[in-house]
Chains A and B, each alone.
Chain A
């Protein structure tokens, strides 16, 4: 029987088939962060349980940590207590921990791949829905709830129901400034915020094969925004080249053995998917979201749609509500929408490649007056790398704030948040009401597009902006 990649990963981790149609699935890795783990550790303590394999977990604080300063005491007492509790639990339960002020700290979904913790062929979970990110390596990775985290800690297993399969074929060659983020937004706009629910998505086709690991991670990261809990890309030479030599990746003969195994991790040519969606990315324009659901996105060359034209009743009603919340009117060209804030970062777009893309636009330009823009690297290692490349200087010279690593304004759990009514060009993944702060308005886009918005003060087609020369080197550093 030919199998899809998802089915191969699933069957290779099936411990037992359960009555009722669920499978007991073996879990190889578990990323632990400060927000979703305290209750899981508490459930272990209450029941007097231990971790079955402590070394398979990796703990780090990312969600609520301040990004303005690092080291010393955290100002917010709740965040301070939460990080302290994580440290204490890691110590007590022997879980490897990446200290907040150390070089290995960062957003769970950024440090997992960066440190070679994430590998093809494994199952990986985390109490965070964007765990889909790790599927970029051909790992079966999905978000779980806090109680499930407790189960994984104690049993190294989870009861799961097998998903249907959806293959998203991306064909053609995208414009160099049209990124994985734009493609993800276009796919979600096309299939809907629920389009992949109940499905494991495999991204395939020439446009995916041409993508870097960073781009594949962005693509898989956004799968949950289409309702899919699993996003996958089959591992290939790009994957192996990325992983080789990473601290936690296999070494020596083990590496060869692993690569030989990983080469088998692809959908068989005649494997059958429950659904296939094909998209040609050749003529795709950069995309931005205009509403409060990630599928409410459009090419930057378009205008705010008239809700009445959106077909289904539910889409129309949602759009009407979204436009009221976003304070936008149908027919307004997207490029006429002014912004006051810019956020470049998150597990979607906080990697070094993303920072390079944003810096390329920011170089020699200035953040528009009245706009506050922050750059928050996805990990401390990414921050150091960017600094070694001089990107921090480019951003600072252009008037961006350069921060320490964390989730920051993606989730607004620390003091990085929008004020009510503020409008933000954001490289994060969710434009839900209040996601970046109560009353805040989010427009999702790529790092290059966010940087373009920062320097023009409004939503901007980065292709048009970069066709014009920057003003030249900025002499003065602020």
Chain B
């Protein structure tokens, strides 16, 4: 069900602001929605819309050049705050497949990987330069196979990524399935040992 990530090309929206937390990405009141799909309209909702429902004209995702942008160039600590995965689902619902930032909220970053969204961490100066390119509406290409971000007319910018995570993204692997297949026996062995060391953690099942 996860869309593999190999290469993504298109416009990049710049949101050069630090500490854009998950409440900004996905306001809490929409957490009442229990679906994973169709959350795009709520991404950055309170930044995109005035209280009366009209669009905030100068917000980047409301401008014609970036309405469909598949890439987001963000500020440091993007996605900090709560663990809500809706933040990633909403970005994905808007068509964003890749976020580039100097740093990320940890849980948000892990959630990206689990949903086929590539979070790229680059040094602040490089992100600032990409942000400037994004504002000029230059074409971006993010290539996970080659591990590089390329802005039209410029040299590719290499990035690093955990090899396991890269493989999972390239293949669109569901983490649970991978884990159960590869480690079913390990888990069983561990449980036996764990039960001997801390039997009280298993009592509910033993009593039943």
Chain A interfacial positions (CB closer than 8 Å to B):
12-13, 15-16, 18-22, 24, 26, 28, 35-36, 38-39, 42-43, 46-47, 49, 53, 55-56, 63-64, 76, 78-79, 81-82, 85, 119, 121-122, 127-129, 143-148, 150-151, 154-157, 159, 193-194, 197-198, 227, 229, 248, 250, 254, 257-258, 261, 293, 314, 317-318, 411-413, 420, 430, 432-435, 438-439
**Chain B interface residue bracket vs A:** 35 or more
Kindly specify which of B3-11, B19-27, B60-68, B144-152 makes contact with the partner chain.
B19-27
Q: A55-B205, A193-B19 are in contact. Are A157 and B183 (CB under 8 A)?
A: yes
Chain B interfacial positions (CB closer than 8 Å to A):
1, 18-19, 21, 23-24, 27-29, 31-36, 46, 51, 76-77, 80-86, 88, 103, 106-107, 110-111, 114-115, 162-165, 174-177, 179-180, 183, 186-187, 190-191, 194, 197-201, 203-205, 208
Kindly list the 4 A-B residue pairs having the minimum CB-CB distance in the complex, ordered from nearest: A20-B164, A78-B32, A38-B34, A250-B200
Bound Cα distance A435, B26 (Å): 11
Ordered by A's residue number, 18 sampled pairs between the chains whose C-beta atoms are within 8 Å are A15-B183, A16-B183, A24-B179, A39-B34, A47-B174, A63-B31, A79-B32, A119-B201, A121-B198, A144-B83, A146-B84, A146-B85, A146-B111, A147-B175, A157-B179, A257-B199, A434-B24, A439-B51
Which of B19, B24, B83, B201 lies in contact with A36, CB distance below 8 A? B83
Complex contact A159–B24 (CB within 8 A): no
Which of B85, B179, B200 lies in contact with A257, CB distance below 8 A? B200
Tell me the nearest residue of chain A to B114, going by C-beta.
A147
Complex contact B84–A194 (CB within 8 A): no
Taking the closest CB of chain B, its distance from the CB of A167, in whole angstroms, is 20
**Total residue contacts A-B, CB cutoff 8 A:** 177
Bound Cα distance A275, B127 (Å): 28
Bound Cα distance A128, B82 (Å): 7
Q: Which residues of A contact B77 (CB under 8 A)?
A: 193-194, 197
- Given A26-B191, A434-B24, 5 new contacts (CB under 8 A): A19-B164, A81-B34, A146-B85, A151-B175, A434-B23
Q: A144-B83, A147-B85, A317-B18 are in contact. Are A438 and B199 (CB under 8 A)?
A: no
Bound Cα distance A150, B190 (Å): 20
Name the residue among B32, B46, B203, B204 with the largest chain A CB count within 10 angstroms.
B32
Complex contact A82–B81 (CB within 8 A): no
Tell me the nearest residue of chain A to B45, going by C-beta.
A438
Complex contact A122–B201 (CB within 8 A): yes
Complex contact B163–A143 (CB within 8 A): no
Q: Which residues of A contact B82 (CB under 8 A)?
A: 128-129, 143, 430
Tell me the nearest residue of chain B to A96, going by C-beta.
B204
Name the residue among A15, A42, A119, A435 with the largest chain B CB count within 10 angstroms.
A15
Complex contact A438–B107 (CB within 8 A): no
Which of A20, A227, A254, A438 lies in contact with B51, CB distance below 8 A? A438
Complex contact B183–A24 (CB within 8 A): yes
Bound Cα distance A71, B164 (Å): 48
Majority secondary structure, B binding face: helix
Taking the closest CB of chain B, its distance from the CB of A303, in whole angstroms, is 24
Taking the closest CB of chain B, its distance from the CB of A259, in whole angstroms, is 10
Q: Which residues of A contact B200 (CB under 8 A)?
A: 119, 250, 254, 257-258
Bound Cα distance A13, B80 (Å): 27
Majority secondary structure, A binding face: loop
Which of B83, B115, B165, B191 lies in contact with A143, CB distance below 8 A? B83
Complex contact A435–B83 (CB within 8 A): no
Bound Cα distance A146, B165 (Å): 18
Complex contact A420–B51 (CB within 8 A): yes
Q: Which residues of A contact B23 (CB under 8 A)?
A: 430, 432-435
Tell me the nearest residue of chain A to B115, going by C-beta.
A147
Q: Which residues of B contact A159 (CB under 8 A)?
A: 175, 179
Q: Which residues of B contact A254 (CB under 8 A)?
A: 199-200, 203
Complex contact A318–B197 (CB within 8 A): no
Complex contact A435–B194 (CB within 8 A): no
Tell me the nearest residue of chain B to A225, going by C-beta.
B81
Bound Cα distance A265, B177 (Å): 33
Bound Cα distance A470, B161 (Å): 61
Which of B46, B76, B176 lies in contact with A43, CB distance below 8 A? B176
Complex contact B85–A36 (CB within 8 A): yes
Q: Which residues of A contact B204 (CB under 8 A)?
A: 55-56, 248
Bound Cα distance A310, B190 (Å): 50
Tell me the nearest residue of chain B to A56, going by C-beta.
B204
Taking the closest CB of chain A, its distance from the CB of B103, in whole angstroms, is 8
Bound Cα distance A412, B46 (Å): 15
Q: Which residues of B contact A36 (CB under 8 A)?
A: 83-85
Bound Cα distance A250, B202 (Å): 10
Bound Cα distance A261, B106 (Å): 31
Complex contact A155–B180 (CB within 8 A): yes
Q: Which residues of A contact B208 (CB under 8 A)?
A: 55
Q: Which residues of B contact A15 (CB under 8 A)?
A: 183, 186-187, 190
Complex contact B114–A145 (CB within 8 A): yes
Taking the closest CB of chain B, its distance from the CB of A255, in whole angstroms, is 8
Bound Cα distance A56, B199 (Å): 13
Q: A143-B83, A412-B28 are in contact. Are A155 and B179 (CB under 8 A)?
A: yes
Taking the closest CB of chain A, its distance from the CB of B35, in whole angstroms, is 8
Which of B106, B110, B163 lies in contact with A197, CB distance below 8 A? B106
Tell me the nearest residue of chain A to B24, going by C-beta.
A433
